Structure 1
């Protein structure tokens, strides 16, 4: 009885030569049946694998082929192999065979596959490839043994990742701390990450302290689990003392600070005096010791009465500490302003009121130092009379005057016509510049000035609609949160702005959907992956992406579809 091509393709007794002829049949069902047939020759089977990956894996002879030839997987053409490895269901033996491939891209695809056997991951963990090591280290099912291999043999990037993020096994952290590393910079980076890792045991931390590395010590000083003996050891370090590192660690409790308040070493008591968690009663007692006064004066928790008491002494370094203390109230700042010793600090203080600022800024405006006058020029409370005088007589200050948010409109108009492009740039950036001035600056010859106008949220719509035709300003317009819909629509017709437009608050729902569709259909895998992760991606697009040829994108799309709000 005559068999149809499909029946011949299904027939397990069909000769390989016949199956080879059927492999090019126009009927998809015939070609798929040939792919499953155990009599199909190896070369024909591989030629069909790209088209029918699941049928390829269903062929019962596949495991025997790999047993007979351990290099079978390695000999499969690159793109065919990549496509096979990106399928959701890949046999363990195939993944293990691919794990012996010499191509790093193949190994990375294997390492990403959720079904890859641990034995294959363990073998690949010994490869000196940062990307491969990172993929393995980030897997949820990675074992302690594999992590130990990475900690010992991984690249610096992998070991730094483990030192920073690893939480599960102290053995991994201990290995990282003790493993020999000839490069001093790399060793310091690993130890720094370990010092910052909250899971690193204190025994390892104590060993790291012995190396006397400043950067590592700074990271240790910020830990939440410091024992009192470690606090004392760190407080005695002169470099940390000068950087005020322990006083910035808010995890040190008031009870510990109370215990250390009477410590025999001055440096420990000074740390206590400036720590914000130190009880007020301890600070009051501390001011009786002259060596502690400036540290109490710098303490942001010091009360108003205590700071006022310290200010009466008129000691230069104590007054400086009070002026720099962010908690110093206006009443105490007023007293310091009268001393005229720390005008710049007072002017910069958030609690300085208008009366104090007017008094101090008049003096700063007369300062001979150009840097001080630059500061005064852009300060919003500097008297306008001084700014007008400077604008006429001190052209080198115009750039900073133009940055002053309190500048009158008539002065901004004049500065907008300044010959210096830097001055016009400052006017274009100034939030107080009126609409009509910004409109004129949108035609400025200097591209940096036009870009500043494009970025200014006060720029009127008509100016933005003109600037959108200037390709040098488009990126800045796309990031201006007040850019109108008309401007955004124009940008949507150009290339390279989709990411910015999708994040823009004024992008319409219709445009958002169009942009999301463009991401989903992009040939760039990162674009499609972004579409799966965006909260506004519609269900129909996620459904389409769940069939993507890229395994990572398919998994991400399926996970997004499972979310309650999808």
Structure 2
């Protein structure tokens, strides 16, 4: 059989070299596993052209030496343009690239072709000159030509000072944001993958300290979202000008300092305020204090003395709400009108009891929102309206046009502007002359119905795409009922079914504050309240003293789009009235934070009774005295908490090298179906290198992993990868480098990731096999990256020998010096 196979192999080699072999047989042999057979077919003139193109990428020299090529060029003068892109690159990068090929492609408009030509050490001065004269030649390519060994000759001395100076300039220019792309060899600004890499470098602790002030919004949001972000980073983020989505993530993060959460409760954005309120790290006493004050400022019967006390509240929302209260006296409004807070001045400008002196003063306010409020106030004097009708902001003038107390002569002057926003308000204003108003209504007012969608408000409401039409305009009375702290919750529950969105949200916030402030709300009414599709309502009920098991399971089983369900379960576990049954079930929760909180709560309940079956198993799992056989059995326990405890037990890890069963048990835990168990293995300070490698191998990059539309599964896998690789960096950098090379791929280079890429190339031994697989594309690394590879004392001799032949005089000099040191 062996003789027959050998004969068959010899026949295949003979057929591959025979110019009389049929194209069909050559096509079949082109996929042969023997490299010599494929190589012979690449040089066979009888091989079909499409097969030649496929083999040319692997065997560029055999392809260009194939006798059929000159004939093909005679048949088709544009033959060069038919050759696949990658084939051309491989040929141009080859040391045996024909001069006529280099000349032909040196005059093309393809940047990549020019880049590979100038980095070929065999490229002649004539070809380099052609590239330099090409209109598509970039500054970076010109720099490469200037440093080409055939132009500048060898560099026997001064190369290290030159390169180190250039590297420092590159790092300084990136840090200052004033960079020359001709020096960097990179025109690519941050993209999703590049920013993800930058974030990963920060997690791994590689490279320079991340400057949040200069980081992209993607990286900032990823840091804000990361569950283990140190508090000082979250505090620094809030000191910067960041997007609202990033602020929301800071408000959600459990590591955000309490003083920052208090600041966020004062934020202008309702979404930010509510996210901070729901954060389990914000003490419930602070939340209760806020809502106690909110109850007072929304109660129409609150006396003026108490309102004056609330003017100094720590909450800007409360202070602004005080300024709206109908019981304030004129003297109070006069003081508030001079407040440095624009929200308070807006409330005063809208107040029905504000007199002409206050309104005249606020007419000159620097805030457009204040002037808009003055323009709408029915008490605003004519002189002020006339002044506001000439305001530089159109929205102020539009509000003057909307005010039913604006004199007709001012309205007619505003009409002459012919601005759509002003004309629409004039059409609705009863003070507009009747004939003009009728004309404007025909032109600018379209019958537009107001619809509400109950299925978006109530869980019990059936899905109804068209919605329910509201035919009557909302009244001030409805708004007052929705906002009043004395409106009963059942009445508010009925009101939210019939009012537009602005009144609906006012009613929801009223229910929220009543649940927080009133400990006597019954469990039955709380269940009714949970029909409202609002995570804030659920957060309030989760902390209520009348919480029942039925309420707990309803909250736990309700899914919200922002994945905030686990935070609600954490809030319930902080409730001192939670039942033991719910705590026990929470020990098996899908979220690690909930399980850990439930465990602490469970231990508090059974502080003097550790004979419960769960406690016995858990205590055995964490004890270093537990026999190995017992730990191996506990590693199969249905409780994730117990498997996590076994994974962190130092005794099991210590037995790894001596006991096969312990080794298999740790491998099984490293491949556990639950990510928290795998993370516990990674976090064990004594986890062996082979196990860390198992954990590192399981992760593959997924775009968008830390954006708002990420999958939680991938985030957890990424966290395991980071912990495992970070450990490997500390104890086995040569092994860690196998998992870091994915971050130095040339096609992933962005300007902001360059410092981190350089840190990897400078400090880690990049595996030889990585470069050996990329010999044909080594030119894609910038000259200064290749220089660092040559300078790295851990780079293999094989790679250094390749860099000795580099086109760049600095890289060649560094490689020669390194080779001399090794010999």
TM-score range, shorter chain: 0.3 to 0.5
Q: TM-score, normalised by structure 1?
A: 0.34
Larger Rg: 2
Q: Which has the higher contact order (CA 8 A, sep 6+)?
A: 2
